[in-house]
């Protein structure tokens, strides 16, 4: 007998018919003798609908009240699923965020989980109940309702799995696992049976499409095996686990890409202490996330500085930097929206040299120019011209031996 | 400066435009220097929609989970209203049932309020906040969400008014007050400026259309003046108050009618101890509310027994009685769905004789036969043939001097 946490995303509970199917899947797991905790998202589209409603009230709705409004989405699906299970004669009970004791900080709209006491969940489990928890929501120490941000139900699921010491956290979604590359642009991409937490964390956009990145950090911290799989098939998906758990070691396990990027360059910035702070503080204050930063040393006490920002923030960041450039005496500011980032990710890199050179050689062979490079312990990313994105993903996929037979 | 509790019903918050209007009305009260607590219903139609959704899942949805589902209705309007007030630069905060500490018993779907600590409400009020409370919902001592039954937001409002010691509880609804009779059938009916708790309690259906009867009991117990008025006009409505508070004393203040009745007669019931229990216990167990009961003494140890039930329960009650009649040896059972109950209500009856005779005379003049009579301290009700209902209301309205000039 295992303790299994199952999380179902919005498409899996999009209507009553699908909720019935989810109930059948849960019932099957329960019948096998397992203890089951279910975490639910809102019906697909509902959260957006509620946000639209709030925006009809006012352009910038109060964040506390928006969370109260949004929390109704998961409350609805949780009640409906518990009802469905009970009508099938299974013992089930729904719990809202505060009832499941999902304690968060005060950051409405993007709250962080501080603690999950889960006493009520454990009590219900020991009573052989199926526990249905509304995902995405928690409450702060003052009892205010908070929500965990986009994809927050994944984090709810993993955090609750950690709190109840679950054997596995199954994330049911509309894709059937994690792929070596986006199958839409690389038809030789194949599903990975297993991947490490660190690789998932480094896959950024490719991984984020199936799993909220924050939830992976949680899973890693508490060593919760996460099984990403489809709620529409019986097929196994991808296990996200600790890299020491005997997994097959590919040098590179995936090739990811991100077109949601733009870069800004400041030319001939005076190379003085405090200049970098002047450049990046206003951007941080606007909540704009800077991804890569590259600084070239130049002669004459001047330096060129290039960084990337999400494309949606490009225009405002560029405007900001033009003002800053004047203040600090930089010669010029220019930018480029037509860029993309391609990355190779793999824990095997730690033990293998030559990954960078393989990557650069493969891109060079296709005459793809590399504009920026950044590396982490298990990832190498290159910024290239956007038009080469698909080609770059395919040649790297082949170069690292990831193509399916 | 007063402490004012305002409750807005479903039609008053049916869409964002109406919520904006409600916000303006609240803002006006706040600007006058008053402390304001607002209790909201769900948008008109939403509760029915949610019930339909639950019925699509299963014919008899689990009551606990149904309450979790229904509670989203008031949560939505509360968040939207608080958001609207804040966008207008008024300090406001929404509270759900459990946050407002509306403690109820365990009766899902029809919970009774046990206690309202209201600490959070008081704290927010002393901070000059407008407090927006989701009506209709509470939580039981175990933290489960409960709902208070149809019209429960009225009870929420009056109970919260009692808890915070409000000066007045204003109930905004889609009618502009309590009338001396239903204006749809009696065009001489006029709006009462004031009425006593006891009269409201005795007006049954006529009163229940504007105010949940249970809330009136609460208001009486804690002596909370209730102002029933329309959210669509600025006109004063009807004050429901203690009868000692210097109100104008009409002998009869209203004529009410109820067509939702049917009667069942058992003929020649053996007049033995225990027979009445045998007749009424099975009906009570089915949750059928018996209104009037009349027993005539007859010769030969046999008696006739007649009682009324809601028309919707007529068929099942009749079937039940046919079986019981055989068991207890009654001679015959028959019933009649085409009846109605007309009543005259007024605290002035306590000091005036002749009300019954005026009523019977007025009906007799129109050849309306009286089938059953029942009385309370401040009410006389007659069961008559349904077809005479409108005529009876009009002649009684005139006979007791209620017609407007």
Of A57, A68, A144, the CB nearest to B75: A68
Q: What CATH number labels A255-399?
A: 3.30.2130.10
CA angle B145/B200/B215 to nearest 5° reads: 15
Instruction: Report the alpha-carbon distance of residue A80 to residue B69 in Å, rounded.
Output: 7
A51 contacts chain B (CB < 8 A) = no
User: Which fold is adopted by the domain B243-405?
Assistant: VC0802-like (3.30.2130)
- CATH 3.40.1160.10 in chain B is located at 3-174
User: How high is the pLDDT of residue A205?
Assistant: 64
Per residue of chain A (405 residues), give pLDDT as tens.
Answer: 899 999 999 999 999 999 999 999 999 999 999 999 999 999 999 999 999 999 999 999 999 999 999 999 999 999 999 999 999 999 999 999 999 999 999 999 999 999 999 999 999 999 999 999 999 999 999 999 999 998 899 999 999 999 999 999 999 988 889 999 999 999 999 999 999 999 998 886 666 677 888 899 899 999 999 999 998 888 999 999 998 766 666 789 999 999 989 999 999 898 888 888 889 988 888 888 888 888 877 767 888 889 999 999 999 999 999 999 999 999 999 999 999 999 999 988 887 778 888 999 999 999 999 988 888 888 899 999 999 999 999 999 999 999 987
Instruction: Report the alpha-carbon distance of residue B173 to residue B229 in Å, rounded.
Output: 6
Q: What is the pTM of this model?
A: 0.84
**B311-369: pLDDT as tens digits:** 999 999 999 999 999 999 999 999 999 999 999 999 888 877 788 889 999 999 999 99
Give how far A332 is from chain B: nearest CA, Å: 41
Whether residues A57 and B83 touch (CB distance < 8 A) is answered with: yes
Residues of A in contact with B93 (CB under 8 A): 64-65
Name the band, by pLDDT with cuts 50, 70 and 90, for residue B208.
Answer: low
Of B79, B87, B144, the CB nearest to A69: B79
Whether residues B80 and A53 touch (CB distance < 8 A) is answered with: yes
Strand, coil or helix: what is B1? coil
For residue A70, what is the nearest residue in chain B, using CA coordinates? B76
CA distances from B326 to A315, B267, B279, B304 (A): 88, 12, 11, 15
B50 DSSP 8-state letter: H
- CATH 3.30.2130.10 in chain A is located at 255-399
Q: What is the 3-state secondary structure (H, E, C) of chain A?
A: CCEEEEEECHHHHCCHHHHHHHHHHHHHHHHCCCEEEEEECCCCCHHHHHHHHHHHHCCCCCHHHHHHHHHHHHHHHHHHHHHHHHHCCCCEEEECCCCCCEEECCCCCCCCEEEECCHHHHHHHHCCCEEEEECCEEECCCCCEEECCCCHHHHHHHHHHHHCCCCEEEEEECCCCCECCCCCCCCCCCECCEEEHHHHHHCCHHHHCCCCHHHHHHHHHHCCCEEEEECCCCCCCEEEECCCCCCCCCCCCEEEEEEEEEEEEEEEEECCCCHHHHHHHHHHHCCCCCCCEEEEECCCCEEEEEEEEEHHHHHHHHHHHHHHHHHHCCCEEEEEEEEEEEEEECHHHHCCCCHHHHHHHHHHHCCCCCCEEEEECCEEEEEEEHHHHHHHHHHHHHHCCCCCC
For residue B86, what is the nearest residue in chain A, using CA coordinates? A62
Locate B378 and state its tokens.
């401040």
Those residues with Cβ within 8 angstroms of residue A315's Cβ, 6 or more apart along the chain or in another chain: none
Class of domain B3-174: alpha beta
B47 contacts chain A (CB < 8 A) = no
- CATH 3.30.2130.10 in chain B is located at 243-405
Q: What percent of chain B has pLDDT over 70?
A: 97
ipTM above 0.90, yes or no: no
User: How high is the pLDDT of residue A354?
Assistant: 85
User: How high is the pLDDT of residue A300?
Assistant: 77
Residues of A in contact with B83 (CB under 8 A): 54, 57-58, 61-62, 65-66, 69
For residue A142, what is the nearest residue in chain B, using CA coordinates? B99
Burial string for A307-336 (b: 16+ CB within 10 Å, else e) reads bbbebebbeebbebbbebbeebebeebebb
Q: Tell me if A104 sits within 8 A of A146, measured CB to CB.
A: yes
Name the band, by pLDDT with cuts 50, 70 and 90, for residue B404.
Answer: confident
Helix (H) or strand (E) run with residue B194 in it: strand B194-196
Of A58, A60, A69, the CB nearest to B76: A69
Handedness of CA A116, A117, A123, A126 (dihedral sign): positive
């Amino acid at each position: 007998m295992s303790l299994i946490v199952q999380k179902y995303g919005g498409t899996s509970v999009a209507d009553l018919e699908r909720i019935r199917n989810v109930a059948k899947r849960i019932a099957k797991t329960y019948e096998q003798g397992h203890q089951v905790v279910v975490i639910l998202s809102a019906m697909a589209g509902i959260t957006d609908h509620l946000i639209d409603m709030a925006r009809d009230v006012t352009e910038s709705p109060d964040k506390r009240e928006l969370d109260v409004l949004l929390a109704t989405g998961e409350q609805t699906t949780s009640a409906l699923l518990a009802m469905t299970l009970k009508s099938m004669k299974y013992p089930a009970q729904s719990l809202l965020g505060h009832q499941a004791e999902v304690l968060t900080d005060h950051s409405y709209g993007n709250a962080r989980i501080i603690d999950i006491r889960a006493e009520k969940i454990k009590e219900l489990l020991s009573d052989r109940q199926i526990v249905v928890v509304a995902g995405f929501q928690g409450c702060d120490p003052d009892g205010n309702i908070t929500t965990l941000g986009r994809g927050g139900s994944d984090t709810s699921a993993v955090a609750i799995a950690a709190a109840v010491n679950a054997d596995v956290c199954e994330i049911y979604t509309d894709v059937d696992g994690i792929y070596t590359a986006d199958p839409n642009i690389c038809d030789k991409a194949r599903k990975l049976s297993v991947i490490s937490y660190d690789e998932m964390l480094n896959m950024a956009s490719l991984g984020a499409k199936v799993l909220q990145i924050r939830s992976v950090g949680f899973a890693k911290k508490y060593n919760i095996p996460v099984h990403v799989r489809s709620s529409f098939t019986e097929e196994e998906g991808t296990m996200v686990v600790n890299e020491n758990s005997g997994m097959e070691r590919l040098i590179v396990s995936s090739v990811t890409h991100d077109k949601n990027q733009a870069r800004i360059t400041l030319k001939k910035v005076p190379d003085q202490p405090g200049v970098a702070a002047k450049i990046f503080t206003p951007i941080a204050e606007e909540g704009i996330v800077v991804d890569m930063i590259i600084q070239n040393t130049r002669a004459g006490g001047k330096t060129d500085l290039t960084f990337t920002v999400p494309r949606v923030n490009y225009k405002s960041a560029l405007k900001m930097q033009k003002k800053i450039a004047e203040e600090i005496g930089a010669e010029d500011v220019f930018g480029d929206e037509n860029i993309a980032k391609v990355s190779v990710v793999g824990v095997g890199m730690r033990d293998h040299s030559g990954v960078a050179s393989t990557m650069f050689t493969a891109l060079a062979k296709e005459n793809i120019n590399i504009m920026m490079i950044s590396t982490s312990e298990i990832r190498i990313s290159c910024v290239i011209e956007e038009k080469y994105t698909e080609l770059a993903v395919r040649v790297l996929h082949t170069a690292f031996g990831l193509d399916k037979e």
